[in-house]
Structure 1
Amino acid sequence: MSRGFGGTHSETDYGAGEGVDKKPNALLESWFVRSGWSKGELARQVNRRARQLGAVHISTDTSRVRRWLDGEQPRDPIPRLLSALFSERFGCAVSVEDLGLRPVHQTPSTAGIDLPWTAPQAVALMSEFSRSDLMLARRGFLGGSLALTAGAALVEPMQRWLQPAHGERLPTLADIATPNRTARRLSEPELSLLESTTIMFRKWDAQSGGGLRRKAVVGQLHEVTDLLQEPQTAETGRRLFRVAAELGELAGWMSYDIGLQPAAQKYFVLALHAAKEAEDRPLGSYILSNMARQMIHLGRPDDALELIHLAQYGSRHEATGRTQAMLYAMEARAYANLAQPGKCKRAVRIAEDTYAEATESAGEERDPDWIGFFTEAELHAENGHSFRDLVYTAGRHKEHAALAEPRIERAVELFGSDLEHHRSYALNLIGLSTVHLIKKEPELSAERAGAAIGIARKVRSERLNNRLRTTVDQVVRAYGAVPEVLHLRDEMARQLPEDGDAEV
């Protein structure tokens, strides 16, 4: 019976072989007990995630979960699915090894993030990874075969982004080019079209979420890597690497948005390599900021802070004021999640001052398109959520909620009049709902969350859906007898059912 991606076997084929001595898996048991899930619920979660990722051949049940707890080692991709599910449940990175499960063999394109900082390897890895995502993954299934990297294993390789070569000759575009191929020089209109296509993809993501156009972005990235393997002039090569970096960042962001966290991290890392080859440090700092955002999402604010400081240091002389303001706002988010209110407030103040200065001097420096998302609305959203996060990490509920509410209110007002950023509008409605919940205002909390439900139905974003479900659950648990909250619960079940598949 086939065990490949196209096979028709059930999950019962994934267990350890007969006759293998097994000991109870105490690590998996510990995470399982703390999760509050029953064996049947965990089995349903695994099956649901497998369907979302296209692994329709996986079908597990309660008895199989019991055998995992008893020490049976499931085969790929089950360990990766369990890692992703427990990571989301606890809000932190829970690796396969943390669960007492054996890691699976990985190909060079899926193994690790500590990659050689040379142009040929960067192109080859981007080409291989994007091809695998398109051809082997079957609706993004590749994301289930990867592992997240965190801590020193993540931060230290990223620090090499700024290190110069130690005297050796680094490979150039001429080394990448396939031998004996006729040079195909890209014209200026062709290059401009590639660059404008990236801008179009970015707009689609803001309007519709990461689940609608992710494959198109990955396909475009693969095409650009093909062009990078042809002979090009140095300037054309730099522009192509910049396009590859922007597409890689966008593929990573879309993967993050639909819950493919390991795949997102891999694309971010490859995009950072491309930005280095493009000699574009501000773009590299933007990619690092998204890696930091992902680490905050996964409960690793210490890693996020290191990545943000690396981004700030690397682009301090080249980034525009708007980019610097964005980095300070992300620094504030990291400090908030580290329960450091003094440093958080200082970073918020600098972000607001830097943004104001950049706005006053508009026209003196040209912002790249990728930072265009960081508007006044986004500034208020980031800073408002930093103060909201401080409520949970540092206490002083009344003070921090009072700082959060007007900023998120302003973000909601601005995003509400914006026809291009539906996801951001919904996320800030949810953020405002949590602030009202903190202030013990259930009717207002339900109203804001209810407004977000209608938007979430139109946006392909698993991140948005998960955040909305979590917030609604919190409101219902705290104020389940309030009529407005009961109506919110019913609307959530009707309009955004739990078992909807995410397109990737």
Structure 2
Amino acid sequence: MTAEVLPHPLTYVREQRGWSMEKLAHLLLLAAGRRGLRVAADRSRIYRWEHRRVAAPSDLYQELLADVLSVDLTQVRALGWPWWLPAYDRPLPFSPVGARATLTEVLVELDHPDRRAFLVLTAGSLVGIAADWARVEPERLAGALAGRRVDESLVTWLESSVTHLPGLSNAAPHECADLLAAVMRATISLLDTARYDAPTRRRLCTVLASAAQAAAWLHFDQGRHASAQRHWRAALHSAHSADDRDLGAGVLSDLAYSATWLGHPRDAVEILTHARTRTRHATARSLLDVRCARALAVLSDNTGTARALHTAENELERGQANSAPPWVSWMSPADLAVDAGRCWLDLKDPQRARAALDEGLGLLDPVRERTRAIMLTYRAHTALADHDVASAVTDTRNALDTALSTGAARCLDLVRDTLRTALEPHRGIPAVGDLRSYARTQFESHAAARQGE
């Protein structure tokens, strides 16, 4: 689980604006001229900055860059190079202004998908977001409300839509993404222009949070981690505005899961610790605990992992007595089993891992193909740990076929990693060679189909 390979942020900022290195150098010369200064700015200097051959531009050059990029100097001094460049996002406050900023961000994202390839929030800032969420109480949004009054039937329809749409993601992820985008646009428009009372505002914020959370998972499955983070952040602020602490905790658990996936398990544990302080429903706590177990397993904490899994199981049983919130209603013993299996695999206990994964596959709802692909890949690793190459080949091939049917990049990447690393030492075995040839053909066909879309 590794983060995306990123260009230098100055490269991104420049290319986002369509500027060559020569163009940026020219703009720096103009900025210096406006100050009555003479500086040396050319393509080679920009190249050195972007390829890290100097520690950082001097203070003067950073001031000129800030002038060209319309960045306030207080940000330059507070954040330092290169973090002040507008290629990075920073945590937003849990306030009406912060909530509004996250909604604007999502609207820009819907109009210009993939405008940034960066993992926009550093792992440490995610922990800060979780801490602020746990500490800050929701504020009442003030100001006059203009426009039409929100109709009760419209709110009910939006709530129903956002409840059922995530289920469509298994069979039609692209269509689901489009429908979720439509729900978000409509809800943001209502929040901006309609007239409504406080309970209706909370319902609209909950709809928006749920839609953004579901959309984040679609982006995450496609490996679009920057987009996923922006949607999760909007979901967290919207849940906070709705005073729905359980939903907010669920969004934080998603951020923690992505942090573990991208190689930041310690930050995941901290995020989940903050999230659990405000979580009310037992099923929600179960999800937080099992994701904490995943992070602790990556950290090789046997005792902590076992304790978190045990607590997750108890909370899940307790939660079944009451109706779980919609955002976590999918949580089941099968999900607990798959995460337990991955935990035991990380802790070098393949027999316990295999037992848990067998149980999970037996319990899993057939429509959840992405989860099935991941479970089969994990089980292939347990088979290899037990020197059962034949079973590993079977599970990997089934995982590949299942992942291809979903088109989820996250699932396909897991299969690729299994073929390239785990099965590589066994490449001389005919069955492994046949699988690699089959996989190569399937991946090529999949890539060609994607290019033709």
Question: Where on the TM-score scale, by shorter chain, does this alignment land: which range?
Answer: 0.7 to 0.9
Amino acid at match of 1:248: A
Tell me the alpha carbon deviations over residues 206-230 of structure 1, each in whole angstroms, 9 at most, x when there is no partner.
Answer: 3445x55324323321221111112
Cα gap change, 1:13 to 1:409, in 2 (>3 Å): farther
Gapped regions of structure 2 (runs ≥ 5): 1-13, 26-40, 57-80
> 1: CA distance between counterparts of 2:427 and 2:316?
41
> 2: CA distance between counterparts of 1:113 and 1:503?
37
Cα gap change, 1:298 to 1:4, in 2 (>3 Å): closer
Q: Which residue of 1 aligns with 2:436?
A: 489
Q: Which residue of 1 aligns with 2:341?
A: 384
Amino acid at match of 1:479: H
1:131 is the counterpart of 2:107: yes
Q: CA deviation at 1:295?
A: 0.4
1:429 is the counterpart of 2:379: no
Q: CA deviation at 1:125?
A: 2.1
Amino acid at match of 1:454: D
Match of 1:448 among 380, 395, 398: 395
> 2: CA distance between counterparts of 1:334 and 1:14?
45
Q: Which residue of 1 aligns with 2:92?
A: 115
Amino acid at match of 1:338: L
Cα gap change, 1:422 to 1:310, in 2 (>3 Å): same
Match of 2:242 among 268, 273, 278: 278
1:367 is the counterpart of 2:324: yes
Equivalent pairs: percent with the same residue? Answer: 22
Cα gap change, 1:287 to 1:421, in 2 (>3 Å): same
> 1: CA distance between counterparts of 2:357 and 2:161?
32
Contact 2:116/2:226 (8 A) holds in 1: yes
> 2: CA distance between counterparts of 1:258 and 1:492?
19
Q: CA deviation at 1:147?
A: 2.2
Q: CA deviation at 1:171?
A: 4.6
TM-score (normalised: structure 1): 0.72
Q: Which residue of 2 aligns with 1:45?
A: none
Amino acid at match of 2:293: A
Tell me the alpha carbon deviations over residues 134-160 of structure 1, each in whole angstroms, 9 at most, x when there is no partner.
Answer: 22x2xx322425623212x22123211
Tell me the alpha carbon deviations over residues 448-486 of structure 1, each in whole angstroms, 9 at most, x when there is no partner.
Answer: 010112112221311111111101112431100112111
1:141 is the counterpart of 2:114: yes
> 2: CA distance between counterparts of 1:239 and 1:306?
29
Alignment of 1:90-489 (within 5 A): 102=82, 105-106=85-86, 111-122=88-99, 124-135=100-111, 137=112, 140-144=113-117, 147-151=120-124, 153-164=125-136, 170-172=139-141, 174-175=142-143, 177=145, 181-187=146-152, 189-209=153-173, 211=174, 213-229=176-192, 230-315=194-279, 318-319=280-281, 321-359=282-320, 361=321, 365-391=322-348, 400-415=349-364, 418-489=365-436
Contact 2:383/2:392 (8 A) holds in 1: yes
Tell me the alpha carbon deviations over residues 417-438 of structure 1, each in whole angstroms, 9 at most, x when there is no partner.
Answer: x332111111101110111122
Q: Which residue of 1 aligns with 2:44?
A: 20
Amino acid at match of 2:388: E
Amino acid at match of 1:129: E
Q: Which structure ranks higher in relative contact order (CA pairs < 8 Å, sequence separation ≥ 6)?
A: 1
Contact 2:139/2:241 (8 A) holds in 1: no
TM-score (normalised: structure 2): 0.80
> 1: CA distance between counterparts of 2:149 and 2:318?
44
Name the SS for the 1:175 alignment partner.
Answer: coil
Q: CA deviation at 1:15?
A: 8.9
> 1: CA distance between counterparts of 2:276 and 2:84?
36
> 2: CA distance between counterparts of 1:14 and 1:492?
45
Tell me the alpha carbon deviations over residues 113-139 of structure 1, each in whole angstroms, 9 at most, x when there is no partner.
Answer: 4212123541x324322221122x2xx
> 2: CA distance between counterparts of 1:119 and 1:355?
35
Cα gap change, 1:170 to 1:413, in 2 (>3 Å): closer
Contact 2:130/2:275 (8 A) holds in 1: no
Contact 2:102/2:237 (8 A) holds in 1: no
Gapped regions of structure 1 (runs ≥ 5): 26-66, 74-100, 392-399
Cα gap change, 1:451 to 1:12, in 2 (>3 Å): farther
The CA RMSD over aligned residues, in Å, is: 3.1
> 2: CA distance between counterparts of 1:322 and 1:438?
33
Cα gap change, 1:12 to 1:409, in 2 (>3 Å): farther
Cα gap change, 1:419 to 1:6, in 2 (>3 Å): farther
Name the SS for the 2:423 alignment partner.
Answer: helix
Q: CA deviation at 1:488?
A: 1.1
Q: CA deviation at 1:243?
A: 0.6
Amino acid at match of 1:243: V
Q: Which residue of 2 aligns with 1:57?
A: none
Contact 1:292/1:307 (8 A) holds in 2: yes
Cα gap change, 1:353 to 1:503, in 2 (>3 Å): farther
> 2: CA distance between counterparts of 1:176 and 1:403?
59
Contact 1:259/1:462 (8 A) holds in 2: yes
Q: Which residue of 2 aligns with 1:79?
A: none
Contact 2:337/2:357 (8 A) holds in 1: yes
Contact 2:134/2:277 (8 A) holds in 1: no
Name the SS for the 2:406 alignment partner.
Answer: coil
